[in-house]
């Protein structure tokens, strides 16, 4: 069976694709997996690093406003569809799984049978997964002819979508935070009985979160709160000089072991991208979600199911001040009973089996297409 994954650009598109790739391999060790990507995306590092084949095509960003990129769009689409169809034919694809992003639209168009000049080309079934609470343009277009449409949450904007959650890698879904806590805290240099705040803003960090939390380092230390802060590889923190006896404030550019970070923490402050919300809720970690203040508001929508269930708090970017961190977050970390209740609530919202469910759907679609065509 040959499966093509289309989900390049950002980690939010790539990580679900890689989680599904792992689930497909677990289902059928003989499955052949090919990921589509572009030269400018994180997939050039992440996909080969996970051991999967990567094929690069021309990126097709879909502009939100009229600009030069919009004028170039038809040519880019034509070129990308031609390249993608060549990949689909070369690997003899049985199914395409699309996750949105720069490579998704060409994949959906190419799977229909290729460009208009390639008449008679075999149609390849498409399965779409929408991770965000508000579907992007590529997935809205692809959903019109997809064999199956899946989503992370209800009411994503895609008709007849089946809710399965966001696919997450096994290192996270299999995580037992309690069992790993002592090892995780030792790894980062925290005492086993420490109260730990985890702070991160995605793979590149978040300047607003960095400023608010680093400026509250003093009050947090006075409350006995240790901090694990991933500030992003291009950012730095302006931290006060720690006083004698202060709990550690561990600042790192990037966290390679998010499983250990989740296990070490009592509470997180983070953005609310679909992947972040999915991972944090799946492991049952209470969180203060700070939606990115740009875009179409999807990050706020991503966090709402967890927040409404009692597993987190929602605070606007502009309202995340040092005072908020010191007072609201500090008080929350001093209330173990409330944290315990939030942990249970977050875990009930999370989907741990999404990757396996997407993999099963894709294999079923592929097998049905093979039978129908007599392959």
189 CB neighbour count, 10 Å cutoff: 12
CA distance 58 to 176: 41
* 296 annotated as ligand-binding: no
* 169 annotated as ligand-binding: yes
**Do residues 299 and 292 make contact, with C-beta atoms less than 8 angstroms apart?**
yes
CA distance 106 to 57: 9
355 CB neighbour count, 10 Å cutoff: 28
Q: What is the largest CA-CA distance in the chain?
A: 75
> What would the two tokens of residue 160 be?
């007849």
Q: Distance from CA of residue 93 to its chain's centroid?
A: 25
* 371 annotated as ligand-binding: no
What sections of 28-103 are H helices per DSSP? 43-49, 68-90
**Do residues 296 and 277 make contact, with C-beta atoms less than 8 angstroms apart?**
no
157 CB neighbour count, 10 Å cutoff: 16
> What would the two tokens of residue 371 be?
């039978």
b/e burial code for range 298-321 (CB count within 10 A of at least 16 → b): bbbbbbbbbbebbbbbbbebeebb
**Do residues 277 and 258 make contact, with C-beta atoms less than 8 angstroms apart?**
no
CA distance 268 to 197: 6
Question: How buried is residue 85: exposed, middle or buried, by Cβ count under 10 Å (0-12/13-18/19+)?
Answer: buried
CA distance 3 to 10: 20
* 205 annotated as ligand-binding: no
Q: Which residue has the tokens 């650009």?
A: 9
* 132 annotated as ligand-binding: yes
CA distance 23 to 174: 13
**Do residues 217 and 239 make contact, with C-beta atoms less than 8 angstroms apart?**
yes
> What would the two tokens of residue 345 be?
């609530």
Which residues does the annotation place in the binding site? 10-12, 132, 169, 203, 299
Binding-site members for UDP-N-acetyl-alpha-D-glucosamine are: 10-12, 132, 169, 203, 299
């Amino acid at each position: 069976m040959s499966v093509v994954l289309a989900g390049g650009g950002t980690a939010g598109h790539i990580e679900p694709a890689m989680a599904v790739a792992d689930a497909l391999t677990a289902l059928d060790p003989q499955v052949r997996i090919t990921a589509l990507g572009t030269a400018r995306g994180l997939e050039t590092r992440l996909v080969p690093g996970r051991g999967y084949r990567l094929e690069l095509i021309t990126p097709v960003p879909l502009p939100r406003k009229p600009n030069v990129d919009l004028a170039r769009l038809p040519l880019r689409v034509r070129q990308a569809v031609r390249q993608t169809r060549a990949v689909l034919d070369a690997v003899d694809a049985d199914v395409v799984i699309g996750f949105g992003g720069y490579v998704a639209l060409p994949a959906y168009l190419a799977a229909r049978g290729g460009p208009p000049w390639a008449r008679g080309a075999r149609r390849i079934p498409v399965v779409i997964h929408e991770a965000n609470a508000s579907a992007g343009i590529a997935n809205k277009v692809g959903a019109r002819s997809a064999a199956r449409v899946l989503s992370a949450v209800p009411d994503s904007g895609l008709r007849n979508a089946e809710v399965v959650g966001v696919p997450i890698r096994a290192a996270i879904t299999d995580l037992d935070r309690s069992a790993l806590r002592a090892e995780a805290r030792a790894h980062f240099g925290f005492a086993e009985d420490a109260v730990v705040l985890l702070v991160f803003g995605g793979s590149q960090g978040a300047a607003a979160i960095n400023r608010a939390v680093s400026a509250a380092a003093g009050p947090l230390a006075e409350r006995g709160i240790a901090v694990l802060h991933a500030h992003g590889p291009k950012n730095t923190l302006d931290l006060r000089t720690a006083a004698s006896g202060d709990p550690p404030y561990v600042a790192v550019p990037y966290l390679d072991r998010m499983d250990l970070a989740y296990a070490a923490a009592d509470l997180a402050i983070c953005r609310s991208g679909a992947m972040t919300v999915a991972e944090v809720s799946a492991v049952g970690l209470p969180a203060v979600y700070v939606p990115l203040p740009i875009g179409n508001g999807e990050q706020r929508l991503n966090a709402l199911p967890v927040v409404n269930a009692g597993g987190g708090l929602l605070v606007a970017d502009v309202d995340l001040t040092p005072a908020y961190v010191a007072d609201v977050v500090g008080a929350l970390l001093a209330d173990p009973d409330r944290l315990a209740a939030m942990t249970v609530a977050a875990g009930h919202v999370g989907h741990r089996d999404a990757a396996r469910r997407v993999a099963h759907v894709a294999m079923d679609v592929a097998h049905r297409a093979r039978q129908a065509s007599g392959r």
